[in-house]
Structure formats: structure tokens, C-alpha cells
Amino acid sequence: MANEEDCRTALTRVAERLAEVDDDKLAEHVVERTISVRIPDLDVAYRTRLHQGGLDGFTPTDKPRSAQVRLTVSSDDLVALANDELNPARAWASGRLKIEASIFDLLRLRKLL
């Protein structure tokens, strides 16, 4: 099982990868949203804000349910996703990545992944 530091590193890697997306593509598909990532096996959650400039830093939160887009993933799967060892669509289809969001947010996020 990955530890909390591994997960924070993985979240940073995801934010860095999003920063590499073309500015025009990002502007086309991104609407400002709050995002939480809950890691149940470590009993921790993080929150960030997605906007046309990318992602703000991830900060610990005790209210992950208040975010507009909510992700739930195990620590090992989060690290695998960040390292491109696990495909996000396959993780979601197999239940390893749970996403709670509006249908419109899901469609927008799909285009960025």
C-alpha cells in the first residue's frame, strides 16, 4: 500500500501533467470546479480547484463531499494512475476509480484525459 507522501507526490504529478495541456484545449474544456480526491485506505482526502490556468495545489480536507467533482481511489491506484501504469477509463470502468460529478463535467474531464 502506498503511503500518504506517495499519494501527495502522485497528485503533484497529475497537476504537472495537466499544466502541460495546450492552453487553448484547456480553455475549451475547463470550467472552474472544486475537486476532491478521497483515498479511503489511508483515510485522507485532498481538495483543489480546477480552472483555465490548471490546478491549484492539493490541500488536505475533512469535507471531500462538498466538492463539485469527487474522486475516490485507493492509494496504490492513485500512484499507478499518476505513473501512467493504469488507464483512467479502465480504472473507472472497473470500479477502481469512482467519479461523482455532473454528466457535463464528466464529458469535459473525459476530453482532458
- Write out pLDDT tens, residues 74-93: 999 999 999 999 998 899 99
Q: Give the pLDDT of residue 54.
A: 82
Confidence of residue 41 (pLDDT cuts 50, 70, 90): very high
pLDDT of 112 over the 90 cut: no
Instruction: Write out the three cell numbers for 60.
Output: 488536505
Q: How far is CA 7 from CA 21, 53, 58, 68, in A?
A: 22, 23, 11, 21
N-term to C-term CA, the chain: 25
Cell numbers 492539493: residue: 58
